[in-house]
Amino acid sequence: MSAIIQYALYFAVLIALAIPLGKFMARVMDGEHTFLSPVLAPVERGVYRLLRIDAGEQMGWKRYLASVLAFSGIGLVVLIALQMLQAVLPGNPQHLPGVSWDLSFNTAASFITNTNWQSYSGETTLSYLVQFMGLTVQNFVSAGTGIAVMFALIRGFRQVKEQGLGSFWVDLTRTVLYVLIPLNLVFGICLAAGGVISNFQPAQKAELVEPVAVQPNADGGWSVIDGAQIEGDTVKVDGKVVEDARVVTEQFLPQGPAAPQVAIKQSGTNGGGFFGVNSAHPYENPSAFTNIIEMTSLLLIPAACCFTFGIGVKNTKQGKAIFAAMFILLVIFTGVIAVNEHAGTPQLADSGAVNIEMTDGQAGGNMEGKESRFGIATSSTWSAYTTAASNGSVNSMHDSYTPLGGFVQMLQMALGEVVFGGVGCGLYGMIGFAILTVFIAGLMVGRTPEFLGKKIEPGEMRWAVVLCLATPFAILVCSAIACMVPGLADQLNNGGAHGFSEVLYAFTSCGGNNGSAFAGMNCNIPWINVILGLEMLFARFMPIVGTLAIAGSLAKKGKVAESAGTLSTTNGMFVFLLVFIVLLIGALSFFPALALGPVAEFFQMIA
């Protein structure tokens, strides 16, 4: 019961905040007066003057696209340079060395595409300068880019026989200035108040309450010795001295400006943790209070985008319908994860060693890889949220979920991140699916299809399929290539179906621009870094090309009048169909892959 209250609370908070934010963003899009205008309007004008931006410019879709690509391209180059040169740049109290070319490319691609896939551990790889001036900046502007492209799409629907989709520079400036900065200021302060660290100190050391003994392992690292007896510097197991053992008495406590980056990594659907274990780290997400802030902010802007879209295209019902479709999918997926995690596995129950009962003192179910301060409900909801939105931050270990829990996580990413998805991009991805749905359903009522009064013709269809199928395309191609590279199996923690899941998850996460990690696969080797980097770039920019092309083509069209013969795109039937088409395309593309991974694992589990 308490678990159900938790789920209901999380959903309710999300909806309650998304609606007003959506309305606010619609005003920002059109440059209308908001309560922040007295403070920010002069700043906005200053930015335009400084950068010589023509605030009234109306870009055609190609020019808009060129601006997006140029902006992202420059971001990519700067980010690579920052990382490779971090050793000679300031803001590096740990004296970390420059990052390798392949990891720099991978990380740069990851952050400009709003993916935030991390082949590295932040605290041991990147300097504060890179984190703060490189990654955090991209966290803002890559999110802003997604929203800007969505604005352009909205104008495409709204324009009648026109060319202009607005100015990318204005959209980006307004989004960052009015939406992302104020929102994250609030989140950041709340998080810092809740205990998320925020400082510029080098890492600290602390004495362990109880020393542990380690010995070198085959991978060149260290493993904890089970059942060791520590006497001073000598380590004994069953009375025998272990020669190469070492005793560890101190703990490494990473520090840094975490709170602001955590705020934007959540709200901008970035997901790149300040620390390697992301929001499972007690410095990044210490309590239930910070957790609900982080979790809600994770889906807040993507959910608000639905309402912004509705207001923007002057059909608020349409916004609600899109929201309903996404929300239904989210509830279904959260439900499947939750049921499976609460149930645990037969293996946990069988051994008798694990009590998977839910009691007052414990969450029960499959607690492997989950923080005990969060439990099943909060971990499951987070994992559903983070794979629904293309966020990718985690507060638990996805590798340790039950097979069907992991199945849902992968499926949500494989669907193309349209269950709310990334800021802006989730919405325009869903519009791509809506166009496909309208096309099929529209034909069935005996009319050539139309959506929001615009005829869907070959031009729109061509780009809609690019928009919807770029993700499956990227995932299938890249994972298939990777499977054929000899030696991939050596990078995995597990064999069998779970091993395949680890590979599939990595490629699905990058192809969905999600960035969450199943872990269990070592991805920091050159060819994997490069292929994943390319996959992220493709999966991000092909849909942007498609979206802007659709916007450009729609803007030029006249509006068709609505009648009783027009297919309604706002009723329950359409929502149902949209959900169905999203699931169908996802299932058709990934059923074989998922069958060899989580599904096979599931049947092995219950066998």
Partner 1 sequence: MAMQKDMMGRAVRDSFAKLDPRVQIQNPVMFLVWLSAVMTSVLAVASVFGVQDAGVPTYYVVAIAVILWLTDLFSNFAEALAEGRGKAQADSLRAAKKDVEAHRIESVEDKEHFTVVPGTELTRGDLVIVRAGEQIPGDGDVIEGAASVDESAITGESAPVVREAGGDRSAVTGGTTVLSDWIIVKISSEPGQSFLDKMIAMVEGAARKKTPNEIALEIFLVALSIVFILVTLALYCYSCFSAGLNDMANPTSVTTLVALLVCLAPTTIGALLSAIGIAGMSRLNEANVLAMSGRAIEAAGDVDILMLDKTGTITLGNRQASEFIPVDGVDPAELADAAQLSSLADETPEGRSIVVLAKEQFGLRGRTLEDKGMEFIPFTAATRMSGVNYEGNEIRKGAADSVRAYVEAAGGVFSAECDEVVERIAKAGGTPLVVAKNRRVLGVVYLKDIIKSGVKEKFADLRKMGIKTIMVTGDNPLTAAAIAAEAGVDDFLAEATPEGKLEKIREFQREGHLVAMTGDGTNDAPALAQADVAVAMNTGTQAAKEAGNMVDLDSSPTKLIDIVRIGKQLLMTRGSLTTFSVANDVAKYFAIIPALFSPIYPGLGALNILGLASPLSAVLSAIIYNALVIVALIPAALKGVKYREVPSGQLLTHNLLVWGLGGIIAPFVFIKLIDMLLAFCGIM
**Interface residue list for partner 1 (CB under 8 A):** 436, 439-448, 453, 456-458, 460-462, 465, 469, 472-473, 476-477, 479-481, 483-484, 488-489, 495-497, 499-500, 503, 558-561, 563-568, 571, 573, 577, 584, 587-589, 591-593, 595-596, 599-600, 602-604, 606-607
142 vs 491 by CB, closer to partner 1: 491
- Shortest distance, CB of residue 328 to partner 1, whole angstroms? 17
Please name every residue paired with 455 in a beta bridge, in sequence order, or none if there are none.
450
- Shortest distance, CB of residue 434 to partner 1, whole angstroms? 14
Strands 204-216 and 246-253: antiparallel
- Shortest distance, CB of residue 450 to partner 1, whole angstroms? 8
- Asked whether 129 and 254 are in contact (CB, 8 A), the reply is no
127 vs 509 by CB, closer to partner 1: 509
Q: How many other C-beta atoms lie within 10 A of the C-beta of residue 143? A: 27
Q: Is 416 strand, coil or helix? A: coil
- Shortest distance, CB of residue 453 to partner 1, whole angstroms? 7
70 vs 595 by CB, closer to partner 1: 595
- Shortest distance, CB of residue 591 to partner 1, whole angstroms? 5
Residue type, 115: T
Q: How many other C-beta atoms lie within 10 A of the C-beta of residue 587? A: 13
61 vs 439 by CB, closer to partner 1: 439
- Shortest distance, CB of residue 582 to partner 1, whole angstroms? 13
Angle at 425 between CA 571 and CA 278, to 5 degrees: 120
14 vs 482 by CB, closer to partner 1: 482
Distances (CA, A) of 347 to 343, 366, 368, 605: 11, 10, 12, 8
Strand order across the beta sheet in which 222-224 lies:
222-224, 204-216, 246-253
143 vs 577 by CB, closer to partner 1: 577
513's CB contacts (< 8 A; 6+ apart) are 113, 114, 115, 390, 417, 422, 425, 536, 539, 540
DSSP 396: B
536 vs 593 by CB, closer to partner 1: 593
Q: How many other C-beta atoms lie within 10 A of the C-beta of residue 162? A: 14
> CB-based burial of residue 139 (10 Å sphere; 0-12 exposed, 13-18 middle, 19+ buried)?
buried
- Shortest distance, CB of residue 535 to partner 1, whole angstroms? 13
Q: Which of 319, 417, 408 is nearest to 21 (CA)?
A: 319
Kindly report the backbone phi and psi dihedral angles of residue 191, in degrees, each rounded to the nearest multiple of 5, phi listed first: -65, -45
- Shortest distance, CB of residue 587 to partner 1, whole angstroms? 7
- Shortest distance, CB of residue 429 to partner 1, whole angstroms? 15
193 vs 584 by CB, closer to partner 1: 584
| H helical segments located in 52-135 | 61-84, 101-112, 122-125, 128-129
- Shortest distance, CB of residue 572 to partner 1, whole angstroms? 10
218 vs 607 by CB, closer to partner 1: 607
- Shortest distance, CB of residue 581 to partner 1, whole angstroms? 9
- Shortest distance, CB of residue 337 to partner 1, whole angstroms? 21
| Joined tokens for residue 303 | 């959910």
Would you say the C-alpha torsion 511, 512, 516, 518 has a positive or negative sign? Answer: negative
305 vs 468 by CB, closer to partner 1: 468
DSSP 567: P
Residue 271 CA to chain centroid, in angstroms?
Answer: 5
277 vs 492 by CB, closer to partner 1: 492
246 vs 320 by CB, closer to partner 1: 320
- Shortest distance, CB of residue 230 to partner 1, whole angstroms? 39
Gyration radius (Cα) of the chain, Å: 24
| Joined tokens for residue 486 | 């000899």
What DSSP string describes 133-195? IIIHHHHHHHHHHHHHHHHHHHHHHH-SS------HHHHHHHIIIIIIHHHHHHHHHHHHHHT
288-312 vs 258-267: helix crossing angle, rounded to 10: 40
Element (H, E) at 87: none
Please name every residue paired with 234 in a beta bridge, in sequence order, or none if there are none.
231
361 vs 565 by CB, closer to partner 1: 565
- Shortest distance, CB of residue 605 to partner 1, whole angstroms? 9
Q: Which of 102, 106, 168, 107 is nearest to 141 (CA)?
A: 168
